[in-house]
Amino acid sequence: MTILDRVKAAIPALPPAEQRVAKLLLSDARAFATLPVSELADRSHVSKPTVVRFCRSVGYDGLADFKLKLAGSVNEGVPFVHRAVDEDDKPGDLIVKVIDNAVAALLHYRNEAAGHAFERAIKVLSEAGRTGRRIEFYGVGNSGIVAQDAQHKFFRLGINTAAWSDNHVQLMSATMLNPGDCAVLISNSGRSRDLIEVVEVARKRGATTIVITASGSPLAALGQLPGQILLTVDHPEDFERYSPMVSRLLHLTTIDILTTGVALAMGQALRPTLQEIKRTLRSKRYV
């Protein structure tokens, strides 16, 4: 049953105000997926909380979750360009659609992210940082860019870290890992043969692997093995048809959460170093 089928079936059981929201949805589902809550409320002649209650009544966590799922079912977008836009969109339309698509995905991720998995990852990374162990970031293609961003953030914390995107170098790096070291693997699809090889090598060396990828993928399965950590990042972006946009934002956000958690866990002794880095860099800017 599609989202629209579910809404049609639920209409008789909905309160009158929520029925008006349902009818607005069925009249133009694509517009519903992009309009802000205030506009949806005005067009339905209901309050903004009623719009949110409608989304929960039909089985979703809230408006952001509902719009994310709805966009995935009714909007094909422009293949290989962006899933939330149309061929004839004006710049103003692009601004709204691209940003709304990203915000909806971030809100959905906020609600779905597993706090216990982040807690484990932050604990392991903090311990590696405190004891001078290595933290290596691995990604290929676009995920390699996220790996570089992660290395930059952890480097500022005084941690022994590196990022690798060439598979030959990745395998050499993983071969040199030891117990207490961490291998952080980032993949949108979770189907990269290169990264699966790296996980297997890192595990054999006794390192802890932290996998950031889509649930249900081969890479995610490896991240669920005993002693390893899986941070699932799911989104409606079809990696076979679209260049990574939302997925990259989600991966960067995941890295930001880990970096912030590690910085806090390493304590206030780290703050003077971060302050000194900022003071040193200030001399490189024009006043």
What mean pLDDT is reported for the chain?
Answer: 89
User: Stretch 98-106: mean pLDDT, rounded?
Assistant: 82
Domain closes at, from 111, 129, 151: 111
> Is 246 within the bounds of a domain?
yes
Distance (Å) of CA 93 to CA 45, 70, 85, 89, 246: 24, 18, 8, 6, 17
> Is 257 in the same domain as 123?
yes
Domain closes at, from 87, 111, 135: 111
The total number of residues shown for the chain amounts to 287
Q: Identify the residue whose tokens are 């694509």.
A: 30
Domain of residue 135: give its range.
Answer: 115-280
> Is 80 in the same domain as 130?
no
Read off the DSSP letter of residue 183.
E
> Is 49 in the same domain as 146?
no
User: What CATH number does the domain containing 243 carry?
Assistant: 3.40.50.10490
> Is 136 in the same domain as 64?
no
Domain closes at, from 111, 140, 166: 111
> Is 152 in the same domain as 245?
yes
> Is 123 within the bounds of a domain?
yes
> Is 183 in the same domain as 243?
yes
User: Stretch 67-80: mean pLDDT, rounded?
Assistant: 69
Read off the DSSP letter of residue 162.
E
Lowest mean pLDDT among 102-106, 176-180, 257-261: 102-106
Please tell me which residue, 108 or 220, carries the higher pLDDT value.
220
Rounded distance, CA 56 to CA 258, Å?
A: 31
> Is 81 within the bounds of a domain?
yes
> Is 104 in the same domain as 141?
no
Lowest mean pLDDT among 32-36, 221-225, 247-251: 32-36
The DSSP result for 103-139, as a single string, is HHHHHHHHHH--HHHHHHHHHHHHHHHHTT-EEEEE-
> Is 78 in the same domain as 203?
no
pLDDT at 84 over 80: no
Rounded distance, CA 104 to CA 71, Å?
A: 10
Kindly report, residue by residue over 184-199, the tens digit of the pLDDT: 999 998 999 999 999 9
Lowest mean pLDDT among 101-110, 146-155, 165-174: 101-110
> Is 193 in the same domain as 263?
yes
- Please report which confidence band the pLDDT of residue 99 belongs to, taking 50, 70 and 90 as the band edges: confident
Please tell me which residue, 173 or 266, carries the higher pLDDT value.
173
> Is 244 in the same domain as 178?
yes
Count of domains observed in the chain = 2
The DSSP result for 214-265, as a single string, is -TTSHHHHHHTSTT-EEEE---S--TTTS-SSHHHHHHHHHHHHHHHHHHHH
